[in-house]
Amino acid sequence: MSAPPATAPRTPRHVAIIMDGNGRWAARRRRPRMIGHRAGARAVNLCIDFCLERGIGALTLFAFSSENWGRPADEVGALMKLFLNALDREVVELHRRGVRVRFIGDRSRFDAGIIARMDAAEGLTSGNTGLALSIAASYGGRQDIATAARALAVEVAAGRLRPEDIDEAALAGRVALADLPPPDLFIRTGGDLRISNFLLWQLAYTELWFTETLWPDLDAGVLQQALDDFASRERRFGLTGEQVASASATDTMAP
Ligand code: FPP
């Protein structure tokens, strides 16, 4: 068993978001889905601003799942163009604001122009300490765990690791975002009550929060509601309420 986890900080250190509802937002306006994705890109900026203002250390956004490649080709193509333009437009400003940008997922499936911009964005911002912004793109939680398992198998085959040394910590060190605290708070917009193959390993003890608000309608009020709800939760990590209360009083469960 790993060491007892931390009691909940009142402000999440790491927020992970499924940005859902762009298509429905557009449909309600009788506009093409892509208009919803463009409005969604504006909401991404709002969300980053909010995290910077509140001193949230890490934000992980699900931009494109490994399953989203199966959407109609024109939507995938238009989304790729949107990502490319966003990278060209936003990265320098994110850097100026101290944001460290990284991408998680199978980047080999993107075309060379996007991969080059992803690499450049990561390189430019790698020394920043303001907000760790991770964009999950061509990402799937099962794929993440499978990749980590394969990395362990390679180390065993090379004689660098014994099978009996494979434990939770070994796997945790090889999934995406291993250097960050796991998400404290998960938010999904758009009303569906699912995790949809996002960060399956990392969300084990994350507090889940769902809203009917469609992603392009996101505002600071919605994000504040999520933070307020989070602050009211008792996180027990499998322990009893009494144990958590006494650990909080003596501060013995600090990370
Ligand atoms: C889900 O809504 C959204 C996506 C698959 C794309 C997310 C993209 C953005 C928020 C825009 C740009 C992002 C970045 C990082 C620049 P949906 O299309 O499934 O909506 P629906 O459920 O209403 O159909």
From 25, 31, 37, mutation site for ligand 1 pocket: most ligand atoms within 8 A of C-beta: 37
Atom of ligand 1 nearest to the CA of 65: 5
pLDDT (tens digit per residue) in 63-88: 999 999 999 999 999 999 999 999 99
Residue 72, CB-side half-sphere exposure with 13 Å CA sphere:
7
Q: Which residue has its alpha carbon closest to ligand 1 atom 18?
A: 23
Domain assignment present for 128: yes
Beta strands in the chain, from DSSP E residues, in sequence order = 14-18, 58-65, 99-104, 131-139, 185-188, 207-210
Kindly indicate the confidence band of residue 250, based on its pLDDT and cuts at 50, 70 and 90. low
Cβ neighbours, 10 Å, residue 32: 15
pLDDT (mean) for 235-241: 89
The tokens describing 6, both together, are 């931390």
47 Cα: distance to centroid of ligand 1 (angstroms): 14
Domain assignment present for 169: no
Query: What residues pair up with 255 in beta bridges, in sequence order?
Result: none
Domain assignment present for 156: no
Tell me what pLDDT residue 70 has: 96
Domain assignment present for 229: yes
pLDDT (mean) for 172-201: 98
From 20, 33, 101, 138, mutation site for ligand 1 pocket: most ligand atoms within 8 A of C-beta: 20
Domain assignment present for 172: no
Q: Which residue has its alpha carbon closest to ligand 1 atom 8?
A: 63
Kindly indicate the confidence band of residue 247, based on its pLDDT and cuts at 50, 70 and 90. confident
Question: 71: domain range?
Answer: 14-139+182-235
176 C-beta closer than 6 A to ligand 1 = no
Kindly indicate the confidence band of residue 245, based on its pLDDT and cuts at 50, 70 and 90. confident
Catalytic residue among 45, 68, 128, 197: 68
Nearest Cα neighbor of 23 from 216, 248, 213 is 216
Query: Does 252 score more than 70 pLDDT?
Result: no
Phi, psi for 42 (deg, rounded to 5)? -65, -40
Q: What is the mean pLDDT of the chain?
A: 93
pTM beyond cutoff 0.75: yes
User: Does the annotation mark 167 as catalytic?
Assistant: no
Residue where the block lists tokens 């708070």: 185
Domain assignment present for 108: yes
Domain assignment present for 148: no
Tell me what pLDDT residue 7 has: 55
Atom of ligand 1 nearest to the CA of 62: 7
Q: In what order do the strands lie in the sheet with 207-210?
A: 99-104, 131-139, 58-65, 14-18, 185-188, 207-210
**Burial class of residue 167 (count of CB atoms within 10 Å of its CB; 0-12, 13-18, 19+):** exposed
List the CATH number of the domain containing 132: 3.40.1180.10
Domain assignment present for 162: no
135 C-beta closer than 6 A to ligand 1 = yes
Count of domains in the chain?
A: 1
Q: Which residue has its alpha carbon closest to ligand 1 atom 15?
A: 63
Biggest alpha carbon–alpha carbon distance for the chain: 59
Helices 112-125, 73-96: crossing angle, 10 deg rounding: 20
Instruction: Identify the DSSP state of 130.
Output: S
DSSP calls for 89-123: HHHHHHHHTTEEEEEES-GGGS-HHHHHHHHHHHH
Tell me what pLDDT residue 2 has: 41
pLDDT (tens digit per residue) in 102-156: 999 999 999 999 999 999 999 999 999 999 999 999 999 999 999 999 999 999 9
Torsion of CA 195, 235, 102, 67, to 10 degrees: -10
From 17, 18, 19, mutation site for ligand 1 pocket: most ligand atoms within 8 A of C-beta: 19
CB 237 within 8 A of CB 5: yes
Phi, psi for 78 (deg, rounded to 5)? -70, -35
Query: Does 23 score more than 90 pLDDT?
Result: yes
